[in-house]
C-alpha cells in the first residue's frame, strides 16, 4: 500500500506541482516569480526521482482514483515519456530562471507570464503521461491556449496578430484531432490507447480518424506546408516565450503523433508514412533556405525550427524496417533541439535587449561585447547543424544509419543537405557578430543570469553528444518503439 501511494504521487507530481504553482501564482500575483521558480525546481526534482524507479520496475501505469480503463483516467510512463518529461523540466528550469531576470523591469508582464507558463508546463507533462486519446485532447487544448496567451504577453501589433493567427490554427488543429477521437470512440468503444491498439482494424473509420488526427497534429507541430503560422508567432513573442514555443510546445504534438503512429496507425498507414517523410524533407529544405534569407535573427531562428521539425518527420518512413534506430534518432534530435533552440532564442533575447534590434547585419561586434551569449549561440548552432560532438549529431547519425542501412539515398541526402544549410545560416550570424556595424548603437546592459542560462543550455546540447548511451537507454525503457520492430520481424 505504501509503495502504491508513493508511486501514485511520483507519477502525478509532474502534473500537480506546476498546476499548484499556476494557481498560487495566479492568486498571489506579487509572489509569482518565487512561486514559479520553486515549482519548476520541485518539478525537476520530481522527474529526476522517477528515473531510478523506471530503471528498477520498468514502465508504470497508474489508474487515478482506482478506476482503470476503459472508464477511468490512466497515466502511463515509459522511457519515452520520462525522457520528454526530463527535457521539459530541464528546459523549463532554464526558461524560468531566464524569465525571472527578463521580466524584472516589467513586473506586470511577469505577473501575467508565470501562471500561464506553469499551466503550459502542466499541460505538457499531462500530455506526456496520458494514456487515452481523449485526455490527450484536453491536454492539447490547454497547451494550445496557454501558448497563445503567452504569445500575446509581448504586446504590440506584431505579437497580437501572431497570437491571433496562432489561436485559430491551434483551435483548428485540436478540432480536427477531436473529430478523429470521436470517430475512433464510435468505432471501437474506447479511448484508451492500449485497448485501441488491440481492437483497431484497417477500415474507413480508422483511416478517416488517422487523417484527421494526423492533420491536426501536423498543423500544431507546424510541419511544412502547415508551418505558416509559426515564424510570426515564435518571432514576435517575448524571448522566454519564443523559446518555450519552439523548444517544447511543438514537441508536445509531435510526441503525440509518434505515440499514435507507433501504437495505432503505423501498421495500417501504408504510404502515409512516406508522405509525412516527404513533407518533412520539404520542411528541412524550405525552412533552412527561408532561415538563410532572413535579415532578422528571431525569424531566422523560427525558420530554423521549421527545418528541424522536418527532420523529426523523416523518422516516419525510415522507421519502416529499421524501427528503433530511426525513432531514437528523431527523438534524440527532438531532445537536443529543445536545449539548443531554447539557447538560441534566449540569446536572441539578449541581443535584442543589448542592441534594441535583431538585424543580423548590424550585430556590431557582439562577439566581443557579449562573448558568453555568442558562445551560447555558436554552441547551440553546433547542435542545430549536427556537427560532432552534439546531441544533434547523434540524432542525425542514427537517422542516417537508418537511411543507409536500407539504402534509401534520398533521405540520406536530405539529412546531409539540411545540415550544410543549417551551418550556412548559423555562421551567417556568427560571421556578422565579429564585424563592426555601420550603424553603431547604444548598448543596454544584459543581466548575467540571462547570459549564463543560455550558455548552460547550449553546453547541455553539446554534452548530449558526448554522454550518449545513458539517454538512449532511458529512451528505450519499456520498449516504446518495439511494436514496429516486431511487425518487421513477422
Partner 1 sequence: MTLDAWVPLLVLCSSLVPGLLIFGLDESRVRLRTTLNLAGALTKLALVGVMLWGVAHGHTYEVRIAFLPGLDLALRAGPLALLFLVLSSLLWLVTTIYAIGYLEGSPHRSRFFGFFSLCVTATVGVAMAADMLTFLLFYEMLTLATYPLVVHRGTEVARRAGQVYLAYTIGGGALMLLGIVWLYTLTGTLEFTPRGFVSELDPSHHPALILIFIFLITGLGVKAALIPLHAWLPMAMVAPAPVSALLHAVAVVKAGAFGIVRVVYEVFGVEFSALLGVTLPLAILAAATIIYGSLRAIFQDDLKRRLAFSTVSQVSYIVLGVAIASPIATVGGLVHLVHQGLMKITLFFCAGNLAETLGIHKVSEMNGVGRRMPWTMVAFTVAAFGMIGAPPVAGFITKWYLGLGALDAGQHWVLVVLAASSLLNAAYFLPILHAAWFREPPATWPEEREFGRRETARALLWPPLITALAAVLAGLFAAMPFSPLEWARFIAEQEFTRP
Among 1, 65, 271, 469, binds partner 1 (CB under 8 A): 469
Q: Does 158 bind partner 1 (CB under 8 A)?
A: no
Measured N-to-C along each axis, helices 409-434 and 272-293 cross at an angle, to the nearest 10 degrees, of 20
Q: Does 479 bind partner 1 (CB under 8 A)?
A: no
CB 415 → partner 1: shortest distance, Å? 9
Which CB sits closer to partner 1, 205 or 472?
472
Cell numbers 513573442 correspond to 237
Which alpha helices (DSSP H) does 357-479 contain, by range?
366-369, 371-385, 391-405, 409-434, 448-463, 469-475
DSSP 72: S
122, 142 contact by CB (below 8 A): yes
CB 286 → partner 1: shortest distance, Å? 19
CB atoms within 10 A of CB 53: 17
Q: Does 295 bind partner 1 (CB under 8 A)?
A: no
CB 335 → partner 1: shortest distance, Å? 15
Q: Does 487 bind partner 1 (CB under 8 A)?
A: no
Query: Residue 399: phi, psi to the nearest 5?
Result: -65, -45
Stretch that binds partner 1, among 162-170, 260-268, 295-303, 418-426 (CB under 8 A): 418-426
Instruction: Give the residue among 104, 99, 105 at the shortest CA–CA distance from 121.
Output: 99
CA dihedral 214, 217, 222, 225 (to 10 degrees): 30
- Taking CB under 8 A as the criterion, which residues in 432-461 touch partner 1? 432, 434-436
CB 35 → partner 1: shortest distance, Å? 34
- Taking CB under 8 A as the criterion, which residues in 347-386 touch partner 1? 365, 367-368, 371, 375, 378, 382, 385
Rounded to whole angstroms, how far apart are CA atoms 316 and 321? Answer: 11
CB 425 → partner 1: shortest distance, Å? 12
152, 163 contact by CB (below 8 A): yes
CA distances from 328 to 286, 376, 387, 391 (A): 24, 26, 18, 12
DSSP 246: I
Q: Does 268 bind partner 1 (CB under 8 A)?
A: no
CB 327 → partner 1: shortest distance, Å? 14
CB 434 → partner 1: shortest distance, Å? 5
Q: Does 387 bind partner 1 (CB under 8 A)?
A: yes
Among 120, 223, 400, 414, binds partner 1 (CB under 8 A): 400
Which CB sits closer to partner 1, 205 or 375?
375
Q: CA-based diameter of the chain, in Å?
A: 70
273, 179 contact by CB (below 8 A): no
Among 42, 164, 171, 416, binds partner 1 (CB under 8 A): 416
CB 128 → partner 1: shortest distance, Å? 25
Question: What does the binding site for partner 1 look like in residue numbers (CB under 8 A)?
Answer: 365, 367-368, 371, 375, 378, 382, 385, 387-389, 394, 397-398, 400-401, 404-405, 412, 416-417, 419-420, 423-424, 427, 430-432, 434-436, 466, 468-469, 472
Amino acid at each position: 500500500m505504501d509503495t502504491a501511494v508513493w508511486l501514485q504521487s511520483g507519477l502525478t507530481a509532474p502534473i500537480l506541482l506546476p498546476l499548484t504553482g499556476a494557481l498560487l501564482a495566479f492568486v498571489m500575483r506579487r509572489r509569482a516569480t518565487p512561486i514559479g521558480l520553486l515549482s519548476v525546481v520541485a518539478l525537476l526534482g520530481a522527474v529526476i526521482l522517477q528515473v531510478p524507479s523506471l530503471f528498477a520496475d520498468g514502465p508504470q501505469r497508474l489508474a487515478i482514483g482506482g478506476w482503470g480503463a476503459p472508464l477511468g483516467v490512466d497515466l502511463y510512463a515509459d522511457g519515452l515519456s520520462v525522457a520528454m518529461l526530463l527535457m521539459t523540466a530541464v528546459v523549463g528550469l532554464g526558461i524560468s530562471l531566464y524569465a525571472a531576470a527578463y521580466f524584472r523591469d516589467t513586473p506586470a508582464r511577469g505577473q501575467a507570464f508565470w501562471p500561464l507558463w506553469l499551466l503550459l508546463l502542466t499541460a505538457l507533462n499531462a500530455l506526456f503521461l496520458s494514456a487515452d486519446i481523449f485526455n490527450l485532447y484536453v491536454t492539447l487544448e490547454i497547451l494550445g491556449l496557454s501558448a497563445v496567451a503567452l504569445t500575446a504577453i509581448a504586446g504590440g501589433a506584431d505579437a497580437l496578430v501572431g497570437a491571433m493567427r496562432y489561436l485559430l490554427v491551434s483551435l483548428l488543429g485540436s478540432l480536427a484531432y477531436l473529430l478523429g477521437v470521436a470517430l475512433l470512440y464510435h468505432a471501437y468503444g474506447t479511448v484508451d490507447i492500449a485497448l485501441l491498439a488491440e481492437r483497431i482494424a484497417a477500415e474507413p473509420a480508422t483511416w478517416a480518424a488517422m487523417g484527421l488526427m494526423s492533420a491536426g497534429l501536423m498543423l500544431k507541430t507546424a510541419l511544412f506546408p502547415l508551418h505558416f503560422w509559426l515564424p510570426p508567432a515564435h518571432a514576435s513573442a517575448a524571448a522566454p516565450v519564443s523559446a518555450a514555443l519552439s523548444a517544447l510546445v511543438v514537441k508536445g504534438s509531435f510526441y503525440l503523433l509518434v505515440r499514435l503512429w507507433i501504437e495505432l496507425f503505423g501498421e495500417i498507414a501504408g504510404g502515409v508514412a512516406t508522405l509525412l517523410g516527404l513533407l518533412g524533407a520539404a520542411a528541412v529544405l524550405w525552412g533552412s533556405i527561408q532561415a538563410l534569407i532572413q535579415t532578422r535573427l528571431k525569424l531566422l531562428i523560427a525558420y530554423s525550427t521549421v527545418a528541424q521539425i522536418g527532420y523529426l518527420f523523416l523518422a516516419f518512413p525510415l522507421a519502416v524496417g529499421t524501427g528503433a534506430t530511426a525513432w531514437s534518432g528523431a527523438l534524440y534530435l527532438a531532445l537536443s533541439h529543445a536545449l539548443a533552440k531554447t539557447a538560441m532564442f534566449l540569446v536572441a533575447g539578449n541581443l535584442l535587449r543589448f542592441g534594441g534590434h535583431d538585424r543580423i547585419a548590424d550585430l556590431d561586434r557582439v562577439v566581443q561585447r557579449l562573448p558568453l551569449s555568442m558562445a551560447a549561440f555558436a554552441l547551440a548552432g553546433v547542435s542545430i547543424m549536427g556537427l560532432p560532438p552534439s546531441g544533434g549529431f547523434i540524432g542525425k547519425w542514427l537517422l542516417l544509419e537508418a537511411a543507409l542501412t536500407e539504402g534509401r539515398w534520398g533521405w540520406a541526402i536530405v539529412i546531409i543537405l539540411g545540415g550544410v544549410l543549417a551551418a550556412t545560416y548559423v555562421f551567417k550570424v556568427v560571421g556578422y557578430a565579429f564585424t563592426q556595424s555601420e550603424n553603431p548603437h547604444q548598448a543596454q546592459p544584459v543581466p548575467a543570469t540571462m547570459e549564463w542560462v543560455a550558455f548552460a543550455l547550449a553546453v547541455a546540447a553539446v554534452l548530449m553528444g558526448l554522454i550518449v548511451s545513458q539517454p538512449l537507454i532511458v529512451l528505450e525503457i519499456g520498449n516504446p518503439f518495439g511494436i514496429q520492430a516486431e511487425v518487421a520481424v513477422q
